[in-house]
Amino acid sequence: MTDLEEARKRWIVERPQYEQLGFHMMERLQKEILLAGIWAELKIRAKEVDSLIRKLITKPEHTYDSLGDKVGIRVIVRYRDEIDAILGIARETLDLSNVENTTDRLRPDVVGYRSIHGVVRFRDGELASKFPPAVFQAELQIRTLAQHLWAEMAHATVYKNDETLQPLPNLLKRRIYILAGVVELADEEFNRIEREIPMVPEITVLKALERNHYKLTVRRGDSQLSLEVIRLLMPIYHLETSKIVSRLDDFFLAHSGVLQHVYAQAETAPDRSAFLFQPEALMIYDLLEADPLVVRRAWNERYPEKELERVANAFGMSFD
C-alpha cells in the first residue's frame, strides 16, 4: 500500500503540473473536435488532495504512480453516434490506450455509470518532452449528455451502482431502475431521432450550417430562431436544398480564414449581434456578399436592421 502521507505531499507539489498536462491535452482535442464540426463540451479536472487520498484508500491495488486518473479530461457530446468520432480524434491527436466501455461491466439488469474511458498520453513533440509518456497520463472520459445526467445525479448518491442500492426497499429500487431505463431510452432515442429526423429543407440547411458553425465555436444557437431565419432567407437563393447546402459548404471553405478570425475576436466582444453566434450567420454572410440589398429587404420585414448591420460589420461589410 502507498504511504498516504508521502502521496499527499507529492500530489500537493505535482498537481499544478498535472493540471497543465490536462489543459494542453484538452486544447489539442478541442481544436480537432471543432474542426470536425461536432458540438462538445470539454472539461479537465485534477483530483483534489482529499479525493486522491480517498481513491488510494478505496483502491488499495493502486499506488500513487499507477493511479491513472489523477487528472481527467471529460468530453460530453450530444449523440451516441458522435462518441466514435471523438475516439477517432483522440487516437489521432494523442496516444490513446486501455479504452473501456463501462457499460460492458454492467449486467443487463443492473443500473450504473455508463461512459467510455481511456488513458491518454502525449505521443511526440515538445509536449511529450515536457510531459514524458512514461510518467504522465490522463484519463479520458467520453459520454453523451444523457449519460452525463445520470453520472451527475449518481455522483455521491445511492444511485451509483447495485451495491449502493442494496439497502433500499424494493419499491424504491424499482423506481431507480425505471429511472435508469428512462434515461438510457432517452439517450437512445435522441440518437435515433437525430438519424431519422425528417429531412425537411430548413432542417437540412440548419444541419449543414451547424456542421460548419461548430468548427468555429462551441456556442450553441437558438435553433427555433435559426429555423425562422433560414425560412426567411432560403428563398433568396432560388436553389434546391442540396445546392444550398453545397454552396454553404463551399462558402465556408473559401472564407474559413476570415471566419476563424471573426469568431475568435467576437468571443470577447461585449457588443456583438444576437445573430453572430447563431449557425445561420454563415448564411447571412454568404447572402450579404452576394446581394446585400435583397437580404436587407427580407430581413427588415421581421428583424431589426441594426442586428443585421452588426453581423455585416463583423464580416467587414458596411451598410453606409
Partner 1 sequence: MITSANLAKLKIQRTIFHDVPNRPRGTDCKPVLADLETQVDAKRAEMLRRRMVQVLGSKSSYPVEFAVGSGSRVPEEVRSYTAKPSTTEQFVEMSQRLAAFLFEQHTGATSPGLLCVIDVTSGAQQGLVLLKLEREQGAELKFREEGGKRVFDMSVLDNLILTEGTRLFKTGLFLRTGPNDEDFDAAACDSQWTVATSGDVARFWLRYLGCRFTEEPRVSTEKWFEATVRFANEHVTDPIVKNDLYEHLHSELKSNRKTVSPKKFIEDCIPDKYRKAYEGFLTEKGVSLHAFPKDIADIKGRLRKRAYHTEKGVSIIVPEEEVQLVEIAKRQIVVNDQLASIDRK
Q: Using the rule CB under 8 A, is 171 a contact of partner 1?
A: no
- Write the CA distances from 147 to 142, 183, 188, integer angstroms: 9, 8, 10
Of 158, 294, 303, 307, the one binding partner 1 (CB under 8 A) is: 294
Of 170 and 268, which has the nearer Cβ to partner 1?
268
Of 3 and 267, which has the nearer Cβ to partner 1?
267
With DSSP H G I counted as helix, E B as strand and the rest as coil, what are the percentages for the chain, rounded to 5? 60, 10, 30
Interaction residues for partner 1, span 235-274 (CB under 8 A): 255, 257-258, 261-262, 265, 268-272
Stretch that binds partner 1, among 2-10, 85-93, 204-212, 287-295 (CB under 8 A): 287-295
- Write the CA distances from 278 to 5, 62, 272, integer angstroms: 52, 47, 12
The residue ranges of DSSP E strands in the chain, in sequence order, are 40-46, 71-77, 95-101, 116-121, 138-144
Of 145 and 294, which has the nearer Cβ to partner 1?
294
- DSSP β-ladder status, 116-121 and 138-144: antiparallel
Of 101, 102, 204, 313, the one binding partner 1 (CB under 8 A) is: 313
Place of cell 474542426: 35
Stretch that binds partner 1, among 27-35, 63-71, 72-80, 312-320 (CB under 8 A): 312-320
Of 110 and 264, which has the nearer Cβ to partner 1?
264
Of 11 and 275, which has the nearer Cβ to partner 1?
275
3-state secondary structure of 7: helix
Which region, left, alpha or beta, applies to residue 94 given φ > 0 means left and ψ of -120 to 50 means alpha? beta
Sites of contact with partner 1 (CB under 8 A) = 255, 257-258, 261-262, 265, 268-272, 289-291, 293-294, 310, 313-320
